[in-house]
Amino acid sequence: MPRRENGAQRKVRRDAKAVKKKKTAAKAKAKEEARGAGAVEEKSIEEILAELDAETKTKEVKPEETVVPQPIPRLYCSLTAHPKKDALLLFGGELNDGRHTKVFGDLLLFYPNKAEWRRLTLPNPPPPRSAHQAWATGGGDAALFVFGGEFTSPNGSSFYHYSDFWKLPLGVPLADMAWEKIEAPGGPSPRSGHRMTMFKRKLVVVGGFQDNNRSTPKYFNDVWIFDLEKYAWSKVAFPTTMLKPDPRSGVQLAPSPIGIIVFGGYSMARVKGDVFKGQQHADTWLLEFKGDESDAGGADDSGAAAAAAAKANKEWAWSKIKSGGVEPNLRSGAAMAIRSADGRAYSFGGVEDTEDDDTIDSTFFNNLFVVDVTKRPTWHTVDAPTAGGAAAASAATSDPPTPRINSHICVQGSVLWVYGGSIEHGSRHVTLSDLHYFDLGKKTGQWTQVHGHDRKTAEWLEDESSESEDDDDDDDGGGKVAASKGKKKGPNPLKARLAATPK
């Protein structure tokens, strides 16, 4: 089982040795029985999902937008800029408190001009999920598309991966808004931790993983195209002799004028026997399209179209490339957002893991990088004053978000938004709910905190006996935090750095 999954993975830290899996489950069961909860057996994940589906079908829902408090902390949700108005869309996610996992299926809107959160209640919603991917398209047919993801049982012992595909129209009146499940056969297999972007009116899905309680998950390096004109899937067929990225999840993905650039990622490999080791990938790849825009992928029911799609798929080609400039050091769990107006992608946060057979040393980051993808990828750091610095001229200015992994970011206009993430301290973790923004349109940008993290809604309930490990490492002031030094690999799904929790 993987410990550190990148970016959109539901679990950041899990046991790397499959032989410990049964022992961990037995210990967890014993703890539940000791608490007096062992008498009630948890429903199977299939039963839980069936009940949720039945509830959705029988419940009459009228489109409604209501003001709500700051959202409950969550990880592995999607944060997307609304293409038709000044608002952010937050969908799904999960919260693990050390004992239980809650998976969300709500859709929230954040209005920056009012600093206000609202819940959007709509008919026919997708089932609750995390580690999915979402992309919003603009124009007259503006819509939010959601693919894949996973559902975790409340006790965290089993997982269900989705392969469904959903659309929510965004350019219509509220009364006409409703989720629609896209019935397009021949699409990607169930997965989470994948990435999705858009290239020339095509949605492109890359990689991901599937974990059906195996000793180690199955990772993917396949590429799928969804044609937004024909509403059809096609799988890119690469020549067997072509050099391709290794299977992986949680890559950073950026569309460019000639294709799609893929940075890094995470996977696990068997070392020997029941021992598995995580790998943080540091390579950069270009998925280049060499055909006409009309042939970028997709098919319909006609034989001619299918042949054309097969021909088009051969127009895509992988090539390993080198990045320039000041590149981020090796890390996973970083988040990436695209600013299409100037062909730049922004990467925030992440963690560098160094592990051997028994321990993991981790360093967390909160620095912001920008990479120009209009040509050869060239990285630069984005510098900003802090509240205590000489350049801080506004009372609204705040320190950058604390070092973290798996934050959720997007760009709307000239503003970069960062929501939540996870921080660690010893054997504990906290799922964050703070919201920050950075004005990219200013020569000297600055971080501004909209609201902080609500600690009351993200308590860590794991037994104190499993929290005996402690760290005294502090923020070194250089945009990183060293934590989890020399920690033994264990069953904890996440760990937390409570000492760095924002107020």
Instruction: Dump the DSSP string for 190-239.
Output: S-BS-EEEEETTEEEEEEEEE-SS-SSPEEEEEEEEEETTTTEEEE----
Inform me whether the pLDDT recorded for 402 exceeds 90: yes
pTM for the full predicted model: 0.84
Task: Note the pLDDT of residue 21.
Answer: 39
Poorest-pLDDT segment among 87-91, 157-161, 497-501: 497-501
Confidence at residue 404, expressed as pLDDT on a 0 to 100 scale: 95
State the SS3 of 57-72. HHCCCCCEEEEECCCC
pLDDT tier at 308, thresholds 50, 70, 90:
low
Give Cβ neighbours of residue 303 (< 8 Å, ≥ 6 apart).
Answer: none
**pLDDT for the residue 486:** 42
pLDDT at residue 57 greater than cutoff 60 = yes
The residue ranking higher by pLDDT, 290 or 231, is 231
Give the H/E segment covering residue 137: strand 133-137
Cα–Cα distance between 494 and 423 in angstroms, integer?
9
Residue type, 426: G
Contacts of residue 241, Cβ cutoff 8 Å, sequence gap at least 6: none
Average pLDDT over residues 11-23: 37
pLDDT tier for residue 310 given thresholds of 50, 70 and 90? low
> 117: closest CA among 125, 107, 127?
107
Of 53-57, 274-278, 359-363, 391-395, minimum mean pLDDT range: 391-395
What is the C-alpha to C-alpha distance for residues 63 and 503, in angstroms, rounded to an integer?
35
SS (H, E, C) 261-322: EEEEEEEEEEEECCEEEEEEEEEEEEEEECCCHHHCCCCCCCHHHHHHHHHHHCCEEEEEEC
Residue 407 has pLDDT above 80, yes or no: yes
pLDDT at residue 214, as a whole number: 62
Burial class (CB in 10 A: 0-12, 13-18, 19+), 283: middle
Q: What is the DSSP string of 367-400?
A: EEEEEE-SSS-EEEE-----TTSTT---TTB-PP
**Closest residue by Cα to residue 400 from 425, 372, 369, 427:** 369
Higher pLDDT, 301 or 170: 170
Residue 393 has a pLDDT of 35
Confidence of residue 352 (pLDDT cuts 50, 70, 90): confident
Instruction: Read off the tokens for 129.
Output: 């999920």
Three-state DSSP class for 31? helix
Q: 């409340």: which residue's tokens?
A: 154
What's residue 241's pLDDT?
A: 93
Question: What is the pLDDT, as a whole number, of residue 41?
Answer: 58
Tell me: pLDDT of 24 over 60: no
Does residue 89 or residue 486 have the better pLDDT?
A: 89
Structure tokens at 197: 């972007």
| Predicted pLDDT of residue 273 | 73
Q: Are residues 292 and 329 in contact, defined by beta-carbon separation less than 8 angstroms?
A: no
Model pLDDT, residue 291: 74
Confidence of residue 311 (pLDDT cuts 50, 70, 90): low
In 3-state terms, what secondary structure has residue 142? coil
Angle at 209 between CA 436 and CA 350, to 5 degrees: 30
Q: Quick one: pLDDT at residue 62?
A: 94
Residue 455: predicted pLDDT: 74
Give the number of other CB atoms < 10 A from CB of residue 444.
10
Q: Give the mean pLDDT of 280-293.
A: 87
12 touches 249 (CB < 8 A)? no
Residue 428 has pLDDT above 80, yes or no: no
Contact 105, 120 (CB under 8 A): no
Distances (CA, A) of 59 to 25, 62, 165: 36, 10, 21
Query: Worst-scoring range by mean pLDDT, 71-85, 199-213, 352-366, 450-464?
Result: 450-464
Higher pLDDT, 196 or 212: 196
pLDDT score of 332:
87
pLDDT band at 302 (very low <50, low <70, confident <90, very high): very low
Residue 384's contacts (CB-CB under 8 Å, 6 or more residues apart) are 368, 400, 438, 444, 445, 446, 447
What whole-number percentage of the chain has pLDDT above 70?
Answer: 73
Q: How confident is the model at residue 117 (pLDDT cuts 50, 70, 90)?
A: very high
